[in-house]
Structure 1
Amino acid sequence: MAGGPRRRGLALLCAGLTALLCGLHVQAACQDATVTQELLKEGFHRDLLVRVELGAVGEDAEGCTVAARTHLPPGIYVDPYELASLQQHNLTKVVLIPDVIDVEAPEYLATELLVLLHMEPDSRCSHCFRAAVPVHGRYHRPAAESEEAVVVLKSPEVLVCCCDNSVSAECWKPAEVEAPCSGKTIGPCQWYSKTHKPAYEESILQVPVGLRQHSSLVCVTTLLATVLCSSLILAAVCKYGHFCLVTCSE
């Protein structure tokens, strides 16, 4: 009689261990993805380069559109006019939300920007993708001490869009994306997101800023330069300009 409960206990233990091992296997396979982002160049005008290595889960994304969704803080923006020129030459494909951006607004008057960056296969490895987009730093308020303002870019989110719904339910979860699936014409398509392992949690952009104690000097210098240049232009017009009176009659 005692053998029955013992056998049932062993059976439950084996089933639990099997489920645990399967869960660990699925988790290990699904986490085999790495995202890196890098800011190229120096100063206010940079290039944001994003690389995605899907690894084992890349088999689910074959034939699908791969994209990176990132939130740009108010201190950095994408120029829609520059972006339109690049897209016209098929150099990049980016969706901006919102699509109307005030490129002249300073950092303290700007808002966050959502960027959906469509990625292309990277020839250096299988199941690797990459994309780049030009970004620009905004002007910040003058600082009290530091001559640089810090803008933090968090790691982007990996997305795929498959019209045949071939992605694995264990690794990819449905995502709400306000953008169509690139290159797909067969009905509506579902976007999926992937919880990945970022190589770096965030990237940092350092933007040069002025110092508050220099405000008076900058204002005086700007005023003097404006008066001097205006005087020189007026003097040149008076000396070399040709003036005549034109009488108009009906």
Structure 2
Amino acid sequence: MAAKNSGVTFDESWIKNVNINLPAVKRRAETVTARRGVKKQWQAAWQLRAVSCIDLTTLAGDDTRANVHRLCYKAAHPIRSDLLKAIGMESAGLTTGAVCVYPSRVGDCRKALENMKCKIPIASVATGFPSGQTSFKTRLEEIRQAVQDGASEIDIVINRTLALQGDWKGVYDEVREMREACGEAHLKTILATGELGSMVNIYKASMVCMMAGKYRATCGVRPLP
């Protein structure tokens, strides 16, 4: 994993007077799918690289130990051996970048990976994912428990209520405490962009989380209208 971001002191000037040219953003986004793709062996190389960046995830209400063990096996063997052999990659040791589960399933992941003698990182969604609507004390305890059970990355959800109220110092303070609760584990913030209301808020949320010490962010699941 990349080096951790230790964070900086909150500085409101970083997020003041922000303007987003939404039509320009949309035009730029549309060019992504229009770009020429790589071909032949380069396409295979990039596809294998993409597999190595995946957080293979199960976040189902009916997750069991058996489900999690199958997930870990798939993470350790993401591509069929005959396909890897056909392209000369059978000895590359290809795995996914991580496995991701709820905090209550981290221990199952750790045991499964230990049994396979596989060192794939374990990520865990915490802090009341996906809504974040639990007490702050409970959210911090979820982080500590997941780390104690073996998670090396914690995926938090930010407090959208504070963000929508413009309380960016409040968002910073919460993420900062979550960063501390992670200890040696990496912190990833899930911004839930579809619930932030505007591109300006998305920008501010990302900047505030970087100030607080996150090392990467994801957008969430719902697009802006």
The structure in which a higher percent of residues are strand is 1
TM-score after normalising by structure 1: 0.23
The structure in which a higher percent of residues are helix is 2
Larger Rg: 1
TM-score after normalising by structure 2: 0.25
